[in-house]
Amino acid sequence: MAQLLLLIICSGLNVDSTRIMKETYAGSERRQYPRVEEVVLISYETPKSAQVKTSSTRNISGGGLCFDVAEPLSRDDVLQLVMAKVVDDGARSTTIPIQARVIWVGELVKGIYRVGLRFTEIDEMHRAEIVENVEQKLKG
């Protein structure tokens, strides 16, 4: 069984946002998949720049993820992502290509943004692996 790669990224984007950004959404939960806090290495390209950038997720689900960036993105931007994944016993790693759309953007501090993405193109086998990983983490 595959497990998602857990990496702590030491960068300027590592801020304690729980004190900075408060969720204000009070409506009903609209997510199709359960979500867990998990740090997974990703690389991405935006429509504004062909330069590949790296970050790490804050949380993930079978339907999307959240991560922090040092550049403002716009709602509905489409990003090309590559997410790291450990295979077998952790001795090898591979990647998962994903296309995702920006659903929301919030500024944490000046120049640091938290972004919520919805997967628009992902191999269903990879989505199933993510869902299984999330469910295992929720069971504890």
**Residue 133 — φ and ψ, nearest 5°?**
-60, -45
Beta carbons within 8 Å of 126's beta carbon, 6+ residues apart: 85, 96, 98
Quick one: which of 46, 27, 62 has its CA closest to 138?
62
26, part of any domain: no
134, part of any domain: yes
Specify the pLDDT at position 89. Answer: 60
Q: What is the DSSP string of 57-104?
A: EEEEESSEEEEEESS---TT-EEEEEEEEEETTTTEEEEEEEEEEEEE
75, part of any domain: yes
Total tally of structural domains belonging to the chain: 1
Specify the pLDDT at position 53. Answer: 94
pLDDT along the chain (140 residues), means of 10: 35 40 44 87 88 94 95 94 76 86 95 96 94 90
Specify the pLDDT at position 93. Answer: 75
Specify the pLDDT at position 70. Answer: 92
Q: What CATH number is given to the structural domain containing 61?
A: 2.40.10.220
Specify the pLDDT at position 134. Answer: 92
Within 10 A of 105 (CB to CB), how many other CB atoms are there? 15
Regarding pTM above 0.85, the answer is no
20, part of any domain: no
Residue entry with tokens 């759309």: 101
Specify the pLDDT at position 92. Answer: 67
Domain limits for position 80: 3-15+33-139
Specify the pLDDT at position 86. Answer: 65
135, part of any domain: yes
38, part of any domain: yes
Distance from the Cα of residue 55 to its chain's centroid:
9
Specify the pLDDT at position 2. Answer: 38
Specify the pLDDT at position 13. Answer: 40
108, part of any domain: yes
Reported as type and span, the H/E element at residue 109 is strand 92-109
Specify the pLDDT at position 91. Answer: 65
82, part of any domain: yes
The pair of three-digit structure tokens given for residue 57, joined into one six-digit string:
């997720």
